[in-house]
Chain A
C-alpha cells in the first residue's frame, strides 16, 4: 500500500533544507518526495492513501543512544512495552537501551529477551546494547562475539566507569573485532564525593559534589584509548565545557569519537539544585550556566553530534527521599522535542541543529539508514507540532516513571505523529 503524508513543512536535517511538500512511501521505503504548498497534496496517483500533517513540521524520526526501559529487573519503574509507547510518543523509532539491567545484558539469552520484548511491544526498534564486562564485574570480558551474533548493536557499561584502564582497552579492541562501537560515560569515581556540580552553588547549598574535573579526566582517558585502539567510541552525556574542548581537539585529529549531551544538561544549570528537590538530581549533574551555554554551542557547531534522552524513569518511592539518598535521573523520552522547542523558541538553539542531533548524529554512530528525507530512505518519520501550548501532567505521559523536574510546567510543541517504516506508531488525539 502506498501512503503519502501531505500538508507539511519538510525539514531535512542532513542537508538543512526546509520546504513545503509531501512524502510518499511504499513497503516502508520512501518512493517520492515533492513540493506542494500548505494544505496541498500534489499530484496523487489512484490508490494512494493520504495522511494529513495539518501544516506541521515533518522530519526524520528520532533515534536515541541512551535510555533505560528498566526491564528486566526494575519493571515497577518502566518496562519495554511502556518505554516503547513513551518513545513512540516522543517521536522515536529506534532506541538503544542501556544493558545494566538485572540480569544485565551480557549474553545471548538476555539479548534475545530484550529483542523479543521489543518486537512484542512493536512500536520502536528496541536496539540492545551489550555489557563490556561479564555481570558488570568490571574485569572479565563478556561474550561479545556471541552477543554480536545475537543482535547487539553497541557495547556499554551503562553509567558505570571501568576503573581498570587496561581492561577497557581490551574491551575496545575485542568489541572492535566484532565491529561493535563502544558507548562510554565519563566520570572518574575517585574524584567524586556526591552528585551536584562543584561551584558557587554547591558552596552555598553544601551538597556533596561531582566536580567537572572528574568528567574531564575520564574523557581524556577515553579519547586516548580510542586513538590507540581505533575503536569507534561514543562519549555519552558530556556535561562540562572543558570536555567539549577535549572532544573538539580529538575530532580535529581524526580520533574516532562522537559525543552526546543529555537533554537535561541543555536545559538546567546548577541553580536548579538550590531547592534540594530530588527531581533535579540528575547525572551528570547540571553544571554552571557557562557550561550549559557552551554545550549548546557545541551542539550547533557539531562537536556534540547527538542529544540523548537519558530517559531514566523512577518510581515515587525512589525519589521521595533526602537529596543525597534519592535515585538519580528523570524520565524524558516524551519530553525531548518539547524541551528542544523551548530552546529554539528562546533562540538558544536553531531548529536544524536541534533536529540534526536527534536524527542524523545517532544514526551515523550506529550506521542506521535514514536521517534524510529522500527517495530510497526508510519511511521513519516524525510530525512535530510546534505551536500547541500544553501543561505537563503524568496523565499526558506513556512512561510509568514519576520523576520529572518539569511537572506542572507549560510547554509549547510536541510530537503529533510518529511513522516507523511507513506504519503509524503514534498519533496525538484531538
Chain B
C-alpha cells in the first residue's frame, strides 16, 4: 500500500505548474485517442471504481473510456442500485468497496465535500467527478485545455461564465483554475443565481450578461437546471432565454472568433440558441473529446506511483 496517496479533490491550492502539467499530459493523451489503436498499457495493474452517487451519464462514460484506454480495470457503482439506497452510510459503503482493493475511486456525489470525506477515510486515490455545488476539477481542466488549444494561452484571457453561478461546481472550479493560470473572469446571470460575496473570489460580477460578454475571448454558458424553473430562481424558459441566454445578437459583443463553451448537456433554446450551439465558434464537442484526454491524464498522474510501486 502506498504511504502517501495523491488525490484530485479540487483545484484550490494547485499551482500554475501543476495545472500546466495536467494540461500537457492531456495534450499528450489526446493523441492516443486519435490513433487507430486507442489504447496504452500504462495502468494495466490498476483498478478504478466509478462511484457515482449522483446521476451522471456523460462524466461517467468519459472516465470509463479514459480508464479503459489506459488499460485499467473499471467497476461501476451507481447510487440507485447500491446499498446506499438501502440506507447504508457512505463510509460503510466505501469500506466495503475497499475490501475489494481498488486503487482509484472516482466519485460523483450530491453533497459538497463528500470526496474529501472519502479521502480522509479510505486508502485509495480519490478523484472528484463533481461534488454538489463545490468542484468539478476535471471539467475545469478540460475547459482550460480547450481554451489553450484554440487561443494559445490562458494568461490574460477574458473569460465570461454565464448562468447559475451560485449552484455551479463547474463555475467554481473554473474560477479557481483560470485565476491561477492568470485569466480574468467575469460571471453573470440573474441575481438569484449570484450569491453575495462572489466578487470576493476575485471575479467581476454582472447581473446582465451583455457587459460580461463584451470583449470576451471565451463565453462559457452553464446549464440551467430545469427543475429550478418556475420556482424561485427564474420564472420561465422564455424569459431566461430572452435576458440571459446566448444568441447571435449577444455573441456579437464578444471578440471576433470568441470561443463558445458549454459543459453539456445543452438546453437548446434556453441558455443557448441552436444556431450558436452549432456555430463555428462553438467548441462544445471538442470539450467532450478533451474530457477523455484530461481524465486519462489525471488517472495517469494519480496512478503512475501505484504502478511503479507494484
Chain A interface residues (CB < 8 Å from chain B): 134, 139-146, 164, 166-167, 170-171, 173-174, 176-177, 228-229
Contacts and interface: CB of A to CB of B under 8 A. Distances in A.
A173 B239 contact: no
A167 B192 CA distance: 10
Which of B233, B234, B235, B238 has the most A CB atoms < 10 Å from its CB? B235
Interface residues of B, number: 17
A28 B264 CA distance: 55
A217 B254 CA distance: 47
Given A143-B235, A145-B235, A173-B191, 5 more contacts: A140-B235, A173-B190, A174-B192, A174-B233, A228-B196
Contacts of A170: 192, 232-233
Which of A140, A143, A144, A145 has the most B CB atoms < 10 Å from its CB? A145
Contacts of A173: 190-192
Interface in B77-109: none
B96 to A, nearest CB: 38
B230 A176 contact: no
26 contacts: A139-B231, A140-B230, A140-B232, A140-B235, A141-B231, A141-B232, A141-B234, A142-B235, A143-B235, A143-B238, A143-B239, A145-B239, A145-B242, A164-B232, A167-B232, A170-B192, A170-B233, A171-B232, A173-B190, A174-B192, A176-B191, A177-B190, A177-B191, A177-B192, A177-B207, A228-B196
B208 interface: yes
A362 B87 CA distance: 58
A112 B208 CA distance: 24
Nearest to B191: A173
Contacts of B242: 145-146
B42 interface: no
Contacts of B231: 139-141
A170 B190 CA distance: 10
Contacts of A174: 190-192, 233-235
Interface string B222-239: 000000001111111011
B243 interface: yes
A143 B192 contact: no
B232 A139 contact: yes
Contacts of B208: 177
B236 A143 contact: yes
A278 B257 CA distance: 70
A229 B192 CA distance: 10
A309 B234 CA distance: 33
Interface in B206-263: 207-208, 230-236, 238-239, 242-243
Interface in B157-212: 190-192, 196, 207-208
B243 A141 contact: no
Contact of B230 (A141, A145, A146, A228): A141
A228 B191 CA distance: 12
5 nearest A-B pairs in the assembled complex, by CB-CB distance: A173-B191, A170-B232, A141-B235, A177-B191, A143-B235
Which of A143, A146, A174 has the most B CB atoms < 10 Å from its CB? A174
Contacts of B207: 176-177
A173 B238 CA distance: 19
Contacts of B235: 134, 140-145, 174
Nearest to A228: B196
A176 B191 CA distance: 8
A143 B244 CA distance: 13
Nearest to A141: B235
Nearest to A168: B232
A176 B190 CA distance: 9
Contacts of B234: 141, 174
Which of B192, B196, B207 has the most A CB atoms < 10 Å from its CB? B192
Nearest to A178: B243
A143 B196 CA distance: 23
